[in-house]
Amino acid sequence: MTAITLTVNGRKIAAEVQPRMHLGDFLREQLRLTGTHLGCEHGVCGACTVLLGSVPVRSCITYAVACDGLEVRTIEGFEDDPDMRELREAFSREHGLQCGFCTPGMLIAARDIVRRLPGADEKRIRIELSGNLCRCTGYLGIVRAVRSVAEKRTAVAPTAAPMAQPSAPPASFVPAEAPAGAAASAAPVEESQRQGWTRFDESFTVAASPEIVWQALGDFPRMASCLPGAELGEYDARSVKGRLRVKLGPISASFAGSATVERDDAARSGIIRGAGTDTGSRSRTRGEVRYGLAPEAQGTRVAIVVEYDLQGPLAQFSRSGLAREFGGRIVAEFAANLNAALGAGAAPQAPAASLNVLALLWAAIKRRLLAPLVRRDR
């Protein structure tokens, strides 16, 4: 048994739990908070959703011991919450509930949407809710209920915890020797975000010249070896096929797909557009990666803009806040591997067989929750 202390619905709790007990069982069996419903217990249906800090999480795939020192809020903890009160009234008015099994998790997810995405349209709401499954309503009433509350907040800034901003990209992605007029094609940050897609911007430094980095980015086998879970298939100068293996707690997904590649040698910028499908979960994704290089005193600055759309049961993992945190972690790991591959960092390690999403997301969540304590100690 392991001793833990956490705050649940504003009340300090000290308990002993088995290391293997997940948060959902702890809330239901030890605290008798049975409003948290357990459905699939694989992190897919969303019925067990609770707030960990300010972030919705699946309590069935979150270990109770991992929540030591953190704050948890279940559906019982929203009795006096004004946002939840509006949503409960809207769900009733729009006939957004029938048996009620999915409703606690659906309401917590909906509250996150209206606070984080004020004024969200129907398409975005459907994307955000795609990780919460309902077998009764057909979703029409649920979507109408969430939209009716979100529309009232078109002039209100999101109240969710602020996200750490990614590293600012260089003022120009164009090397000094690039010809005039190349700046537009080398500045992915100027591209507008697609409706309903998730986007994150990142940058990193490689301790090598722009010429060497540019050549490395065109070496597909080397790039695949730097990205955990990537498996390269057929490729040529303009296209590539492959697979990305992803581990989501007990869920293992394998996205098989293809991409087209455009590279501008003069501007040292490129675009990768692709799509993939995981046949096991029937989830599908499509996306675009734009990147550009600029010289720096320490080597080369690589700026990246990623936009993607994830649909199906795994869409729950594309919530914008966590997606940005997750993207930052992936880019940092890729950068470290690329530096190592170019002889500018620690000895390269064998790439991981699969990309462990939950481990990276949990590290991101914990970093966000502990950030105020770190600032307070300084």
Query: Per-residue confidence of the chain (378 residues) as pLDDT tens digits?
Result: 899 999 999 999 999 999 999 999 999 999 999 999 999 988 889 999 999 988 899 999 999 999 999 999 999 999 999 999 999 999 999 999 889 999 999 999 999 999 988 888 999 999 999 889 998 888 999 999 999 999 988 644 434 333 333 333 333 333 333 333 333 333 343 344 566 678 888 899 999 999 999 999 999 999 999 988 889 999 998 999 999 887 765 667 888 999 999 999 999 999 999 999 988 878 888 899 999 999 998 899 999 998 888 887 777 666 655 566 667 778 888 888 999 988 765 444 555 555 555 555 555 555 555 555 555 555
- The amino acid sitting at 164 is A
Whole-number Å distance between alpha carbons of 309 and 307: 7
pLDDT given at position 179: 38
CA 293 and chain centroid, separation: 25
Between vectors from CA 59 to CA 332 and to CA 371, what angle results, nearest 5°?
A: 45
pLDDT given at position 208: 92
pLDDT given at position 138: 86
Q: Domain 80-153 classified CATH 1.10.150.120?
A: yes
- Residue 130, both tokens: 């795609």
Neighbours of 106 (CB within 10 A): 28
What are the structural domain ranges in the chain?
A: 2-77, 80-153, 188-377
Edge-to-edge order in the sheet of strand 2-8 = 11-17, 2-8, 71-73, 49-52, 55-58
pLDDT given at position 189: 39
Count Cα atoms within 13 angstroms, Cβ side, for 360.
21
The residue written with tokens 């605290």 in the block is 31
Count Cα atoms within 13 angstroms, Cβ side, for 268.
24
Task: Tell me the pTM.
Answer: 0.51
Give whole-number Cα distances, 110 to 135, 290, 292, 345, in Å.
17, 32, 37, 44
- Residue 3, both tokens: 């001793």
Count Cα atoms within 13 angstroms, Cβ side, for 281.
29
3-class secondary structure, 89: helix
- Residue 171, both tokens: 């003022």
pLDDT given at position 376: 52
Domain 188-377, CATH among 2.40.50.140, 3.30.750.24, 3.30.530.20, 2.60.200.20: 3.30.530.20
Q: What is the largest CA-CA distance in the chain?
A: 68
Q: Assess contact for 310 and 285: CB atoms under 8 A.
A: yes
pLDDT given at position 183: 35
Domain 2-77, CATH among 3.10.20.30, 3.40.1670.10, 1.20.140.160, 3.10.110.10: 3.10.20.30
Give whole-number Cα distances, 105 to 20, 36, 56, 74, 333, in Å.
23, 7, 9, 9, 32
- DSSP β-bridge partners for residue 52: 55, 72
